[in-house]
Structure 1
């Protein structure tokens, strides 16, 4: 039974009509920047493509329909660490076998939205052509300062603290043992669940190995690892400006991004395009309505600033935290279109690796881009650990 100390309340938000009217007014009053001819995406978000998206946002996008679609997931709020935390809690279908509890950890720039499509595939595999014995009880929390979870009033929480909240949440839901999975910052949170709660996490599945931190002599690394370090450095120089801002001066950017929905969309959409497996055509990975649902969640909850501040908190973690080795059995699905895919040698250096796969499709947002493929990866990985719950 759930811990009596955890008070859980059903949650089904409905946006204030005045907030939606204000959003449309702001979109229609946008003061657009200029852009060099044929700049495309080379300098950041493409002006013409964003104009088209914003026109749909102002006059074609139906937030109420998207709100209703999100409400199909069973959603709740609970107090954890003094914060109201929003989470999906979807139990396995009654026809399924014994379910493995699984906490799914999202990243940036998203929220529980990342796992919207995959939850039914994991809770009721038989309805989707898979083995009913692979069913999960799925929990998808919004991190503090993201989505419908509270924004910390004081210092932002780093990944180890969020992992502690998720361990408390799973205990309060009646799950003494569970699996953990995530990508992006959610991979970081999943890692700390395994590091700090190894007696409770049966196994951990991640989509990436995180940014490399190595305090020894680089000569001790394999040639493949050294090449990857160089790749990470080159990527950071070309693509990492957003992360440097998030880590150092997130509040400065938050003023503009919280005031301008178009600025917010530009900040998020550029990453959705660059990090997905779309070969430069974002429409291959997301519909306009899917993009705008993610962006509108940030707009209506006012969480872009608080979400960015988590980078600042993580940037202050001591190196000793970043170099700890995970002993809990770990699996990695390195999707074809994701960024900075680490070599197996690095994963084995930092974790107790039991499985590494390279799915042929999908990118950084694979649970949303390729939900069937992601669900199969998760089912396959956790199958040997179901008896450990």
Structure 2
């Protein structure tokens, strides 16, 4: 049973002062020059962001978004000394075979990544699915993201976050569960399976990690080496943010924490380049809900520091093989596309599929496709 005394309802309301300050900063933005015909080729497009910021300042209704988010069953609980915010949405009444599902977000997002799939997962019958596929869904914000507390010292790495989530699931009364994630959340899901195999029945991921720094890549297959070459090209052309996050995140944090427009530029460029349909995958209000959450919680710096923490994970940890049954979905708009050989090299891979559409933020871009993938993969592990 859930330890009710340790889990409290959560409903955050931003102060009028915070929203007034945000608008003042938006209106007072000092804009960079706009090189002719640059568009998105050098980073965030100035004309696009000018239009969006004008709407953010005088059209976007944060209170309406707050009201929508407040309808989710959101809670807070202190786990290992950190106050953790999470969604805990139970399957609809009568779903006696519901399986607990822990969803792990990545960067630059939060529980926001999974807001579109929660109802589909908890009440499949209401959305044309089989009621036997219902899940109890838990979606935490990682420490230093969204509404979860930021550690006072060094950021936690994915392995440490996995230990927090194992404790959280036990507190919620789940002796065993399945888990899924993308981006950094894939790593958290992986460490849950590695370190808590008696609790985790199966794990689904949308990416499979990369070789450890000391791995002998000469032993890889030709498809694996082609994938690494493609990944190296992507890193050289698109990976500057990653190098900054891993090495000097605090330097970037000053500007991104002080300027809402700088924050928006940093996040929105990633939404565009990592989504299969670019910014067409999102409504303006959806984009601004994510960015405004980062602004109001002041968590852009703490979220970036997790890259630095993960970079320090020992190579031996990075090379451990996942024995828990694993499934992977490759989305066409994802950053890289590892071959099945790599997935089988790193995990007890029982299912690999190629989705028809979607990108890095698949759960938000294409919620129905993502949910179908989870339903199909986890069906044999319902117990």
Q: Answer yes or no: same fold by TM over 0.5.
A: yes
Deviations 1:290-326, CA, capped at 9 Å, x for gaps: 0000000000000000000000100111111111110
**TM score, norm. by length of structure 2:** 0.98
Q: Distance in 2 between matches of 1:88 and 1:215?
A: 38
1:146 corresponding residue in structure 2: 145
2:298 maps to which of 280, 297, 302? 302
Q: Distance in 2 between matches of 1:217 and 1:309?
A: 28
Alignment of 1:332-351 (within 5 A): 332-351=328-347
1:93 corresponding residue in structure 2: 92
DSSP 3-state at the match of 1:152:
coil
Alignment of 1:32-51 (within 5 A): 32-51=31-50
Which stretch shows the higher mean deviation, 133-142 or 332-341? 332-341
1:226 corresponding residue in structure 2: 225
1:313 maps to which of 286, 300, 309? 309
Q: Distance in 2 between matches of 1:341 and 1:90?
A: 32
CA contact (8 A) 1:106 1:182 kept: yes
> Relative to 1, partners in 2 of residues 1:216 and 1:260: Cα closer, same or farther, differing over 3 Å?
closer
Alignment of 1:146-225 (within 5 A): 146-213=145-212, 215-225=214-224
Q: CA RMSD in A?
A: 1.0
Alignment of 1:248-327 (within 5 A): 248-278=247-277, 281-282=278-279, 284-327=280-323
Q: Distance in 2 between matches of 1:342 and 1:52?
A: 37
Unaligned runs of 5+ in 2: none
Unaligned runs of 5+ in 1: none
**TM score, norm. by length of structure 1:** 0.97
1:23 corresponding residue in structure 2: 22
> Relative to 1, partners in 2 of residues 1:214 and 1:31: Cα closer, same or farther, differing over 3 Å?
closer
Which stretch shows the higher mean deviation, 342-351 or 205-214? 205-214
Q: Distance in 2 between matches of 1:35 and 1:327?
A: 52
Q: Does 1:361 align with 2:353?
A: no
How many residues in Structure 1 have an aligned counterpart in Structure 2? 383
1:237 corresponding residue in structure 2: 236
Q: How far has the Cα of 1:220 moved from its partner?
A: 1.4
CA contact (8 A) 1:96 1:126 kept: no
Question: Any runs of at least 4 consecutive aligned residues in structure 1 with deviations exceeding 6 A, and if so which?
Answer: none
Which stretch shows the higher mean deviation, 204-213 or 304-313? 204-213
Q: Distance in 2 between matches of 1:37 and 1:341?
A: 34
CA contact (8 A) 1:182 1:190 kept: yes
Q: How far has the Cα of 1:214 moved from its partner?
A: 6.2
> Relative to 1, partners in 2 of residues 1:331 and 1:214: Cα closer, same or farther, differing over 3 Å?
farther
1:2 corresponding residue in structure 2: 2
Q: Distance in 2 between matches of 1:218 and 1:322?
A: 14
Q: Distance in 2 between matches of 1:145 and 1:216?
A: 31
DSSP 3-state at the match of 1:205:
strand
